Structure 1
Amino acid sequence: MRTVPVVLVAGHLGVGKSSLVNHLLRHADGVRIGVVVNDFGALGIDAMLVAGQASSVTSLAGGCLCCVTDADGLSAVLADLVAPATGLDLVVVEASGLAEPRELVRLLLASPDPHAVYGGLVSVVDARDPDLDHARLADLVVVNGLDLCPSAPAALEAVRSVAAGAVVGTSHGALDPALLVDPVRRPQPAQLTLDALLREADGEHPHVGAETVSFTSEQPLDAGRLAAFLESGPRGVVRVKGIVRLPDGGAAVPSEEVPDVWEVQTVGTAIRVRPAPGRLTTRGARLVLIGTGLDEAALCDGLSACVVGEDEAPPSEHAALALTRYRIDLATA
């Protein structure tokens, strides 16, 4: 079943949330984005300016949509946006004026909608005076305005010292969309779209590109050690995705109820797993880690420590629960 990540963008007025959203829209490159806003007037997208009442929907360039709502109507709007008929690949919620970011995170994590999945909390902070409390909550902290901050390295280090998630510095909100969603390849139209024209007119705002680290193993991974690795929020990692084989599904007696190959997706320390589709299989693990400033050797060492050794005792009946307790069962959600 198709799912759509819902990303929350939070931060004080004037820190660059609108710039970040605009950058995502103008550099979507085939990704169809739904945007939920209420203080929409600051966004530099002309079509948004006509969306003047709660729950209204306005079409943007490139198959994107803009919705305007208040906190009470958020669940209904999200249900409309993530429905398969919309064809959206990502939904971005600009949290200013809606609710506290912590409450929005709880709302998303508790959502019964099988098509909406938590895509992470992005906190935008001002490089000149970063809000460290906001940084502590986020899966990804965007330290914006580096071009205006004479002590940018010190600001980044201050945020990294308290942030549990990844930290990236930007100017003009130029965040690489690949940190939030995988690129989508679609046929290009015969003429330039509005977002492409805007990009040509405005010029590029170079962004720090997303980095990836790949890990493969021909041996299964221990569920407990892998869960601990993912729960720790490895430094610089925003997302993890891939498939993992657990030894005998983590149970002493394999069964259809305990599959041995699992699909793993994480955003920050939010983990979700489900039985891997039949076409996806591995003898051990195939994982990709996405983020910025990644230490490839340290990450691979951490995952290598999760590999089950040939001389290890068989797993206990409930060994897999360390990881499979994060299971999402879309068929019954």
Structure 2
Amino acid sequence: MARPDIPITVIGGYLGAGKTTLLNRLLREPDGRRLGVIVNDFGSIGIDAELLAAASDTGVINLPNGCVCCSLGNDLMASLGLLRNVEFPPEQIVIEASGIADPSAAAAWGTSVGFAPGGVIVLASADSIGRQVNDRYVSSEVRRQLAGADLIISTKLDLCTPEQRLRALEVLDEHAPGVPIVDGSAPTDLVLGPRPQLRPPLRPQLRPPLMLEPGVERAVPAPEHVQAGYLRWSWSGTTVAAGRVAGMADAMRDVLRLKAVLDVDGYHLEVHVVAGRMTVHEVTGLRPGSRAEAILLCDDGLSVRLTAAFDELAS
């Protein structure tokens, strides 16, 4: 049986933004999924020593929580191949990009055979992003990183006054218009996306909002509410009409993250949506039926429209 495509998520951001801290948390809290992690060097993984296990003869480190790690070395494709070809491959691969690299370049490997796009997550230090985007030496790298982001995580908010937090969000809005912004406590399934094929349907759950939209009057949030408002949504059905799948793109426009498996007359399509961008590919070996789970901006109307779109797909 052919192995399913593995989504690739890239974590980027300038030096000191907190990429390794986020990576450590994802490894400690993988949300039940088997992650494959590629880093520049094993030493950059700061997780507790007891969490690390011995490396196999392939150069892959196996972790007791089911995740695997691999050193980047000089060839990213070789590292991806190592993870894809282990006996029990990961469900998702996370690449920690260098602080001066363009994470979008690494994310392009998500279009390669055997892989799927999993989004570009860019971290930005709230206490320094305003200075970095105007710095004569680093501004080009920082702006390029922000421009290629599907999701921005604003970090170091505890070091900022309310006014500084507001200014940081304005800078991010300016250089990455329309890109969702969350804080460093964003849960794993918001950073990496949901896993509908393994989860029972979940009832929607609201979180306090922090999403900033251009032109909307902003209120400085209290520190304990620096968290993006989002809604968890799920749907299940039987078979869907193949000719209608392409028309789903418009319904996905405001979806933050979605993963769906659609049963199309005997074969399945796997749909990934990251920040409104949809990719579709065929998969095999799945149980009958269609299912989807998404994370949406905190907007009840959007969840109603999305449910209607999927019901129409299956009618």
- TM-score for both structures, normalised by structure 2: 0.66
Could you say which residue in structure 2 is the equivalent of 1:214?
234
1:41 CA displacement: 3.6
Secondary structure of 1:85's counterpart equals coil
1:290 CA displacement: 1.6
Secondary structure of 1:63's counterpart equals coil
CA RMSD of aligned residues (A): 4.0
Could you say which residue in structure 2 is the equivalent of 1:228?
250
Could you say which residue in structure 1 is the equivalent of 2:295?
290
Q: Extract unaligned runs of 5+ from structure 2.
A: 130-141, 200-225
Contact 1:265 1:271 in 2 (8 A): yes
Q: Which amino acid aligns with 1:144?
A: T
Q: Tell me which structure has the larger Cα radius of gyration.
A: 1
Q: Which amino acid aligns with 1:124?
A: L
Mark the CA change 1:300 to 1:45 in structure 2 (over 3 Å): closer, same or farther: same
- Among the aligned pairs, what percent are the same residue? 28
1:303-318 matches, cutoff 5 A: 304=308
Is residue 166 from structure 1 mapped to residue 180 from structure 2 by the alignment?
Answer: yes
Aligned-partner Cα distance in 2 for 1:36–1:117: 16
Is residue 267 from structure 1 mapped to residue 274 from structure 2 by the alignment?
Answer: yes
1:29 CA displacement: 4.7
1:118 CA displacement: 2.1
Secondary structure of 2:250's counterpart equals helix
Contact 1:39 1:97 in 2 (8 A): no
Contact 2:229 2:298 in 1 (8 A): no
Aligned-partner Cα distance in 1 for 2:100–2:61: 19
Contact 1:7 1:121 in 2 (8 A): yes
1:87-166 matches, cutoff 5 A: 87-96=89-98, 99-109=101-111, 111-112=112-113, 114=114, 116-130=115-129, 131=142, 133-150=144-161, 151-160=164-173, 162-166=176-180
Contact 1:225 1:306 in 2 (8 A): no
Could you say which residue in structure 2 is the equivalent of 1:60?
63
Q: Which amino acid aligns with 2:172?
A: V
Q: Which amino acid aligns with 2:258?
A: R
Aligned-partner Cα distance in 1 for 2:283–2:5: 15
Q: 1:69 aligns with which of 69, 72, 77?
A: 72
Q: Which amino acid aligns with 2:60?
A: V
Aligned-partner Cα distance in 1 for 2:172–2:286: 42
Aligned-partner Cα distance in 2 for 1:59–1:262: 31
Contact 1:139 1:238 in 2 (8 A): no
1:120 CA displacement: 1.3
Alpha-carbon displacement from aligned partner over 1:136-184 (angstroms, at most 9, x marks no partner): 21122111122222232443354345344432112xxx43111215466
Aligned-partner Cα distance in 1 for 2:284–2:262: 7
Secondary structure of 1:290's counterpart equals strand
Aligned-partner Cα distance in 2 for 1:69–1:308: 44
1:211 CA displacement: 3.6
Secondary structure of 2:78's counterpart equals helix
Contact 1:36 1:92 in 2 (8 A): yes
Secondary structure of 2:65's counterpart equals helix
1:44 CA displacement: 1.5
Mark the CA change 1:93 to 1:275 in structure 2 (over 3 Å): closer, same or farther: closer
Aligned-partner Cα distance in 2 for 1:261–1:88: 20
Aligned-partner Cα distance in 1 for 2:65–2:108: 31
Q: Which amino acid aligns with 1:64?
A: C
Aligned-partner Cα distance in 2 for 1:228–1:276: 26
Q: 1:25 aligns with which of 21, 24, 27?
A: 27
Aligned-partner Cα distance in 1 for 2:68–2:310: 42
Could you say which residue in structure 2 is the equivalent of 1:249?
none
Contact 1:242 1:263 in 2 (8 A): yes
Mark the CA change 1:306 to 1:14 in structure 2 (over 3 Å): closer, same or farther: same
Could you say which residue in structure 1 is the equivalent of 2:137?
none
Aligned-partner Cα distance in 2 for 1:97–1:143: 15
Secondary structure of 1:15's counterpart equals coil
